[in-house]
Amino acid sequence: MKTMQKKRLTTKVFSVVLSLLMMLTVIPLVPFTSTADAAYANEYYHIAGTKYIKDIAMVYYKSSSEGQAAIKNAVGHDAGTGYALLKDLTAGTGGDYYVYVGWTWTTNPAEAVRGFRIDHNGSMPAYWQQSGVYWYPVNTGSHAWVPQLHGDGCVDLNRGAGGDDLKLYITKDPAFGDPVTFLDRAGSTGERDSLLNSGYKGVYTFQNNSNLVDINKGAGGDDLFFLYKTSPATKVNTAALRSAYTNSASYDGVTGYTPATAAELSAARNAAKTIMDAFDNNQGYASYTQANIDAATSRINNALNNLETYLYLNATENGGDQNQTITLKVGKNTQVNVDLSKYTATKTGANFAGWSKSSLATTGTTGTVSVGFNETYYALFGVELTANFHYLLADGSIKHEEQKTYAMNTATAASLPLPTLKDVTIDGKTYTALGWREDTQAADKTVNKTGIYTIYANNPTVDVYAVYSTPITFTQDVNKGEPAVEPQTATQYINVNTEITKSSHEFTVTADTPTRAGGNFIGWADSETSEQAMYTSGYKFTLTEDLTIYAVYELAVVEVSFVDGNGKVISTQTISTGESATAPTEIPEKAFDEEAHYVFTGWDKDFSAVMTDLVVTAEFEKIAHTIEESITKEPTCTETGKKDRYCTACDYIVADIDIDALGHNKSFDPGTPATCTTDGSTDYITCLRCLEVLQEREVLPALGHDYILDTAKPATCSVGGYEIWVCRNNNNHKETRNETMPTGEHIEKAVKGYEATCLENGLTEGTECEQCGAVLVPQNIILADGHDLIIDKYVAPTCVDTGLTEGAHCEDCDYTVPQEVIPALGHDWADFTAEAATCTKPGFTAGSKCRFCHEVRDSIEIPALNHSWEIIEHPADCTTDGYTEYICAYNDAHNYTVAGEKASGHTGGTATCSEQAVCDICKEPYGKTTDHNYEAVVFEATCTKGGYTEYTCTDCGDSYKGDETAVVDHTYDEGKVTVEATCDTEGEKTFTCLYCDDFYTEIIPAKGHNVDNWVVNGTEAEGDCADCGEHITADPEDVGLELPECERCGMVHRYNSGIFKYKGIYCSIVYFFRQIVNFFKGNA
């Protein structure tokens, strides 16, 4: 039956199989390629190592064993590995041939078959195209018995079995689906459905995409279905990675990044490219998860953002101590802001003045700057130079103006503008601005008035003082005399510092002797009203201000004073001008002193023909004492003695000296000390010299015991306590006291624990009794807690030095995770041109320099030319500091000066009170004159002349008068009657000054008549003056008399003298006529 079936099917199966089967044709025959730079629309992650079907081969043999062998040993299709074998595809048909399908494996999804289709009774085109997917037939060669790489026909799956024409097509287009991992056949519909349910896919026809074709279709036999299995993949996306890769391209390989960050960017991009190529070269499949892709993306972005460059801070170019290389994170920027205030540089003797791109700059920055790749900033150094200018403002006040600058880098000096000086008028006097000086000397300028002031680094702080000039005038006013004296003038210099310093000028009083009516010229004084001369011809003034002195005149008498050696005036004589004074009879004395006694030898001035007031001073010979000593009181044990030092020539006691008391010469008879139980005694002390008993022997009572606590043993938990007391007076005397019983209580003492280590246990702290050692609190075990790791940082490799991977070490022990060595990066050379040498800086020939580490190769250093100095010595003199000037023949900017010896100052010579010292070296006068050594003679004020003190220099004879006092009042005598008063004329009394000829008079009233015998004569009183004999009449009332009553009328009449005495004239006449009338009447 099997044979008949085969015959029935032979023609069809054979035709099918001949048309389609024997395909040693595999995937390499199918023109599937991919473009490395192109990304697939969809990308998938597959597990590395997954095996996919790569090449398909079909064979048909009449012998089953031959067919299987052919498939297994197919040449050219991964030879050595052979093909996997699928069972006979014509099983059960009874055909003439056995048709087998085989395949090879690949782990590359780009090489994998993606699906199968069957051309069912079709025309078997060279390819099928459906929905954009291309399908290619599985071909075989013309020799049926030999598998072929390149076939010219398509094997019929029913070859030799009859039935339908079934041609197998495959595709490797990723757009169709996942890569195929396995092929199988189902021998029945049930087996087919089971495989489909387990994830297998069926093979459809091009003609009907829903038709699972029976590959024995039309040939009878078993129901055979061709099925395959794919490997599902996880969809991933490399778009972000590709974008990062593209965006970072312009940064990769750019010169200027640090080697480590540049290498990291390159490595990150290379890693990214490996991933992208894996997807692009494998039809969108690669063994990279989305996490891998994202990590690679982050690595590029991080590497890009972490790109670093170097900022070179060069300090040594300008003589600084140390260069710095700063690593800056620039990322994707070409510039980065750097706060230079964080960096400084040092240079001995100079201040750091900031940073600049130019090493020759004079101003730098310490602020924020924008820097590019591998830029170099040079440290600028400056010696801060300060000039303090002192000058006058228009109102005469002092202006102190501070100006600062720097002597930058290698400069030894800097310039400052001089402030503007203007003439100044103060108190009506004009001061002409001349210029400047660098000292406070009031002298002519040494620095010009305007322009630039040069300040040197070796003298960084200077004071510059403005200099002005003005006339100074010395005037001798003749004080209404004649002829006038021409004023003397000089140019005075004004130096402005913390105050105004004025130059002093010497003026000499001329020999002019003006005359004035009524007086004799006697000299000059400060006041025009002065009566005493203070200065004479030849007197020298040292002036800093204008001065006027006035001629002094006196009356035509002079006063001569004789002064002894003690400054006492012993005689004053007033004589006429031109007369001679008389030496006093009293011999002048001078007080002895400790060195000498003095013998009068004469007078210091001639006092004959004296023309002006004169002070004559006694002169003495100084005779040194001849000294001897004499004890006046012997010392004793307790009392001091005395001795005199005296001159044997003059008996002057130079010193009265104490002689120290001798002190007792003690003799000791020792006593015995008292003990606790026995008495003792004191020492008996006497003086061997004076025999005085200095200390009597006394009994010392026994001390008795004086116990103190020596040892205290407190009771413990197990042992009783006690005290031992010892006598202070004798430590051999002891007592035991205060014995106690054991306490039975423990005293805790800590027992130290120790910490656990990483691998070893520790112990907690416990306690025990410190007395008996009993354990009170037991110690517990502390378990080891393992290592506490600290990361050892990644060390970037350099051009020549290897780096290190990240490692770790335990913070607590010596456990480590070792770091691995990263190979050195190698140099990145850049050429540079030659540079000529200068005085201070070497040059070099052309060569190359590593952009990363700045190592230089192929360049020869040209030594610095060194300065060619012209050296000019400026030695110091008395007033000017010395210095050495160095002038460079190549570059004036390198010139500098070095301070030398300081000005020595004037030396030698001896100043006097009238002349400055003359320097032994430069022969110039210098310094100040010494003060005059004036001796003072006091002239008390009199009633005619003011008092004064005459100061006479004992060295040069210069003298002046001062301390003037006003004229005192006259001291008059009691007066002398110069005109006697009479009875009727006034007299005169004259009062004369006891010290001069001044006098004044007083009127002595007339005495009046001295009448002591007044009588009333009529109406008048009359009498004779007892003094002059003149007969005097007066009104009685004026002389104390009363007029008598009229005898006639009883009244008092005014005129009752003569015959009418005591009778009034009127009454007498009336009486007379009454008597006549009475007579005629006959009345008596």
Task: Give 511-522 pLDDT, tens digit per residue.
Answer: 999 987 657 888
The rounded percent of the chain whose pLDDT value lies above 70 is: 86
Tokens 């030092």 belong to residue = 645
Burial of residue 757 (number of CB atoms within 10 Å: 0-12, 13-18, 19+): middle
What 3-state class would DSSP assign to 947? strand
Measured in degrees and rounded to the nearest 5, phi and psi for residue 674 equal: -80, 150
pLDDT of residue 948: 87
Are residues 609 and 478 part of one domain?
yes
Q: Does residue 699 register a pLDDT over 70?
A: yes
Answer whether residue 449 is part of any domain: no
What 3-state class would DSSP assign to 829? strand
* Peptide bond preceding 701 in cis form (omega within 30 of 0): no
Sequence-distant (≥ 6) Cβ neighbours of residue 957 within 8 angstroms = none
Are residues 521 and 488 part of one domain?
yes
Burial of residue 511 (number of CB atoms within 10 Å: 0-12, 13-18, 19+): exposed
Are residues 604 and 718 part of one domain?
no
Answer whether residue 64 is part of any domain: yes
Tens of pLDDT, residues 368-426: 999 988 889 999 988 888 999 999 998 889 999 999 988 888 788 888 899 999 999 98
Phi/psi-derived region of residue 710, left when phi > 0, alpha when psi is between -120 and 50, beta in every other case: alpha
Half-sphere exposure in the Cβ direction for 864 (13 Å, CA): 9
Q: Which amino acid is at 144?
A: A
Half-sphere exposure in the Cβ direction for 617 (13 Å, CA): 16
Q: Does residue 86 register a pLDDT over 80?
A: no
Q: Does residue 83 register a pLDDT over 50?
A: no
Tally Cβ neighbours within 10 Å of residue 466.
28
pLDDT band at 43 (very low <50, low <70, confident <90, very high): confident
Residues 229-253 have a mean pLDDT of 88
For residue 709, the cross-strand partners are 725
Q: Does residue 5 register a pLDDT over 50?
A: no
pLDDT band at 891 (very low <50, low <70, confident <90, very high): confident
Question: Which among 185, 202, 234 is the end of a domain?
Answer: 234
Are residues 267 and 118 part of one domain?
no
Answer whether residue 974 is part of any domain: yes
Q: How far is CA 934 from the centre of its chain?
A: 55
pLDDT band at 97 (very low <50, low <70, confident <90, very high): low
Q: Does residue 920 register a pLDDT over 70?
A: yes
Closest listed residue to residue 346, CA positions, set 304, 387, 305, 318: 318
Residues 917-941 have a mean pLDDT of 85
Q: Does residue 675 register a pLDDT over 80?
A: yes
pLDDT of residue 1074: 78
Are residues 147 and 112 part of one domain?
yes
Tens of pLDDT, residues 339-356: 999 999 998 888 888 999
Tokens 């200027």 belong to residue = 256
Are residues 190 and 125 part of one domain?
yes
pLDDT band at 686 (very low <50, low <70, confident <90, very high): very high
Sequence-distant (≥ 6) Cβ neighbours of residue 814 within 8 angstroms = none
Answer whether residue 357 is part of any domain: no
Domain that residue 730 falls in: 707-739
pTM of the model: 0.38
pLDDT of residue 227: 82
Tally Cβ neighbours within 10 Å of residue 1018.
22
pLDDT band at 550 (very low <50, low <70, confident <90, very high): very high
Tokens of residue 113, six digits: 């078959």
Q: Does residue 827 register a pLDDT over 60?
A: yes
Residues 150-167 have a mean pLDDT of 53
Q: Does residue 553 register a pLDDT over 90?
A: no
Are residues 1049 and 1021 part of one domain?
yes
| Lowest-pLDDT choice from 18-22, 41-45, 238-242 | 18-22
Are residues 616 and 488 part of one domain?
yes
Closest listed residue to residue 657, CA positions, set 677, 637, 678, 640: 640
Residues 946-973 have a mean pLDDT of 85
> Is pLDDT larger for residue 215 or for residue 189?
189
- Parallel, antiparallel, or unpaired: how do β-strands 856-857 and 869-874 relate? unpaired
Answer whether residue 354 is part of any domain: no
pLDDT of residue 162: 59
Distance CA 555, CA 576 (A): 10
Phi/psi-derived region of residue 965, left when phi > 0, alpha when psi is between -120 and 50, beta in every other case: beta
Tokens of residue 208, six digits: 């009907």
Cβ–Cβ < 8 Å for 231, 178 = yes
Distance CA 460, CA 446 (A): 19
> Is pLDDT larger for residue 890 or for residue 530?
530
Count of domains forming the chain: 10
For residue 817, the cross-strand partners are 808
Tens of pLDDT, residues 132-143: 888 887 764 332
pLDDT band at 648 (very low <50, low <70, confident <90, very high): confident
* Peptide bond preceding 1036 in cis form (omega within 30 of 0): no
Q: Does residue 462 register a pLDDT over 90?
A: yes
Residue 482 DSSP label: B
Measured in degrees and rounded to the nearest 5, phi and psi for residue 493 equal: -105, 140
pLDDT of residue 32: 34
Tokens of residue 460, six digits: 């960084």
pLDDT of residue 76: 38
Q: Does residue 620 register a pLDDT over 80?
A: yes
Burial of residue 123 (number of CB atoms within 10 Å: 0-12, 13-18, 19+): exposed
Are residues 33 and 173 part of one domain?
yes
Q: Does residue 476 register a pLDDT over 90?
A: yes
Distance CA 139, CA 56 (A): 9
For residue 562, the cross-strand partners are 571, 616
Residue 820 DSSP label: P
> Is pLDDT larger for residue 840 or for residue 948?
948
pLDDT of residue 69: 65
Closest listed residue to residue 510, CA positions, set 538, 533, 473: 538
Distance CA 150, CA 116 (A): 19
Summary mean pLDDT of the chain: 81
Answer whether residue 339 is part of any domain: no
Closest listed residue to residue 717, CA positions, set 755, 772, 671, 662: 772
Cβ–Cβ < 8 Å for 380, 400 = no
Tens of pLDDT, residues 760-777: 778 889 898 877 777 778
- Parallel, antiparallel, or unpaired: how do β-strands 488-496 and 429-437 relate? unpaired
Q: Does residue 728 register a pLDDT over 70?
A: yes
Q: Which amino acid is at 222?
A: D
Q: E strand or H helix at 292, and its extent?
A: helix 290-305
Q: Which amino acid is at 813?
A: C
Tokens of residue 165, six digits: 């024409």
Distance CA 716, CA 51 (A): 88
Q: Does residue 226 register a pLDDT over 90?
A: no
Alpha helix positions (H), 113-212 = 189-197
Provide the b/e sequence for 262-301 (b: ≥16 CB within 10 Å). Answer: bbbbbebbebbeebbebbbebbbbbbbeeebbeebbebbb
Cβ–Cβ < 8 Å for 177, 228 = no
pLDDT band at 618 (very low <50, low <70, confident <90, very high): very high
Are residues 557 and 589 part of one domain?
yes
> Is pLDDT larger for residue 282 or for residue 710?
710
Angle, to 10 degrees, between the axis of helix 239-248 and the axis of helix 290-305? Answer: 20
- Parallel, antiparallel, or unpaired: how do β-strands 461-477 and 375-392 relate? parallel
Sequence-distant (≥ 6) Cβ neighbours of residue 1000 within 8 angstroms = 972, 990, 991
| Lowest-pLDDT choice from 643-647, 703-707, 994-998 | 994-998
Residue 663 DSSP label: -
Answer whether residue 733 is part of any domain: yes
pLDDT of residue 334: 86
Sequence-distant (≥ 6) Cβ neighbours of residue 355 within 8 angstroms = 313, 340, 343, 364, 365, 366, 369, 377, 378, 379, 380
Q: Does residue 22 register a pLDDT over 50?
A: no
pLDDT band at 65 (very low <50, low <70, confident <90, very high): low
Cβ–Cβ < 8 Å for 381, 320 = yes
pLDDT of residue 314: 92
Q: How far is CA 385 from the centre of its chain?
A: 16
Cβ–Cβ < 8 Å for 859, 845 = yes
pLDDT of residue 72: 59
Are residues 83 and 64 part of one domain?
yes
Tens of pLDDT, residues 767-823: 988 777 777 788 787 766 777 778 888 787 888 888 887 777 888 888 887 888 888
Biggest CA-to-CA distance, the chain: 262
pLDDT of residue 283: 76
Burial of residue 337 (number of CB atoms within 10 Å: 0-12, 13-18, 19+): exposed
Alpha helix positions (H), 32-80 = 64-72
Are residues 84 and 20 part of one domain?
yes
pLDDT of residue 3: 33
Answer whether residue 423 is part of any domain: no
